[in-house]
Structure 1
Amino acid sequence: MIEQIFFDTDCISSFLWVDRTDILLKLYGKQIILPEQVLDELSNPSVRHLTTKVNQLLSQNQIGTEKILVGTEESKLYYMLTRNPQIGQKRIGRGEASAIALAKTRKGILAGNNLKDIQYYIELYRLRNLTTPMILRNALLRRLIDETEGNTIWAKMINRRRKLPNATFTDYPESLK
């Protein structure tokens, strides 16, 4: 069975903003799932062009989408994450919460960047996690991009206010050592 990868809004947006969803499709293909709440967040009129790109990917069946149904384990977890978090934890966004709830209950992978908000839940639920830097590194290792192209993509993401852990893509693998 192919493992589903549940993307939160920030992670999928990193690639949408720089028009490089081709990297995601080559690496993960139909494993890519956007929770309905992520689609809702992307439907903001101020980012209509991102909605258009996502709708195109969906209409071509290149990615999938999932709903959280009321009364399910995932809906209870989603509610807890967004409305009634555990003591000492803050509420997280709908996109992050839906991706976490689906990844946990469907035994998938979480694609989320905001580790400050979600690291606790990644550890608590023992979720496998991908971040934008990890995805770019995987693309480099699979020779889908080279280091120069990785640096160009990284710089464009930073220009689009994506928060990345290093100034350049070249610095990222070094920071893992």
Structure 2
Amino acid sequence: YDTDCLECFLFVDAGYILEELFTKIVIPEQVYMELMDNNTPPIVKTNFNKLKDGFVETREIPFMSQEYTNYKLIKKGFWSQTGKCCGDGESAAMALAHLNNGIVASNNLSDVEEYIDSLGIELITSSMILSKAVEKDIIGENTANRLWKGMVKEGIDLPKNSFTKYYDELYETDCERFLKSEL
């Protein structure tokens, strides 16, 4: 998980959706540090701490490991055709996913799309996660729209102005574009 995707659910107190959909999530230590930063809103920290014990695995990237090398190459833009550099959290999440056959959870498509394409990494976004939660009857459409509105109110950039519009117009395309397997 990258910080931006996880924060979407923490801002609106919807970590329960992640707990219902996934047995655990892995965040790089860099993402944990971003979440615990002094500038992170207290609601995000509070809701992160409410996630059940053992659900979030914080993974360190050991110095000089293959993961570390990949992390640095992505962060500095050396694997990019355009020299695109990524932030600490995004770079670490992609390095871990690439070497561990994982899925990157990020909303920063402009930053990660080139890397997920070239490295063959699967991607999920908060929009896709909400959609899957509705499909699995974890939440209803009205709740998804309310959460979507709450995320937008917090300044989160989502692809459509409502959950329903996203689901009807983009969800299927996003799944085909970013996922090779079923969530």
With normalisation by structure 1, the TM-score equals: 0.90
Kindly indicate whether the alpha-carbon contact (under 8 Å) linking 1:36 and 1:68 is maintained by their aligned counterparts in 2.
yes
Partner amino acid, structure 1, of 2:146: T
| Gap change, CA 1:161 and 1:48, over 3 Å in 2 | closer
1:22 equivalenced with 2:16 (yes/no): yes
Partner amino acid, structure 2, of 1:127: I
List aligned pairs for 1:89-100, cutoff 5 A. Answer: 89-100=83-94
- Identity rate, percent: 35
CA shift for structure 1 position 57: 3.0
Q: Supply the RMSD in Å over aligned alpha carbons.
A: 1.5
Partner amino acid, structure 2, of 1:41: E
CA shift for structure 1 position 84: 4.4
1:81 equivalenced with 2:71 (yes/no): no
Secondary structure of 1:144's aligned partner: coil
Secondary structure of 2:27's aligned partner: strand
More deviation in 35-44 or 150-159? 35-44
CA shift for structure 1 position 48: 5.0
Distance in 1 (CA, whole Å) between partners of 2:41 and 2:50 is 12
| Gap change, CA 1:89 and 1:166, over 3 Å in 2 | same
Kindly indicate whether the alpha-carbon contact (under 8 Å) linking 1:27 and 1:139 is maintained by their aligned counterparts in 2.
yes
Kindly indicate whether the alpha-carbon contact (under 8 Å) linking 1:103 and 1:109 is maintained by their aligned counterparts in 2.
yes
Partner amino acid, structure 1, of 2:162: T
The equivalent residue for 2:135 is 141
**Pairs aligned (count):** 169
Secondary structure of 1:33's aligned partner: strand
Kindly indicate whether the alpha-carbon contact (under 8 Å) linking 2:103 and 2:124 is maintained by their aligned counterparts in 1.
yes
With normalisation by structure 2, the TM-score equals: 0.87
Distance in 1 (CA, whole Å) between partners of 2:117 and 2:153 is 31
Distance in 2 (CA, whole Å) between partners of 1:52 and 1:46 is 14
Distance in 2 (CA, whole Å) between partners of 1:79 and 1:139 is 34
1:64 equivalenced with 2:87 (yes/no): no
Kindly indicate whether the alpha-carbon contact (under 8 Å) linking 1:29 and 1:63 is maintained by their aligned counterparts in 2.
no
Gaps of 5+ in 1: 1-6
List aligned pairs for 1:93-172, cutoff 5 A. Answer: 93-172=87-166
Distance in 1 (CA, whole Å) between partners of 2:4 and 2:57 is 17
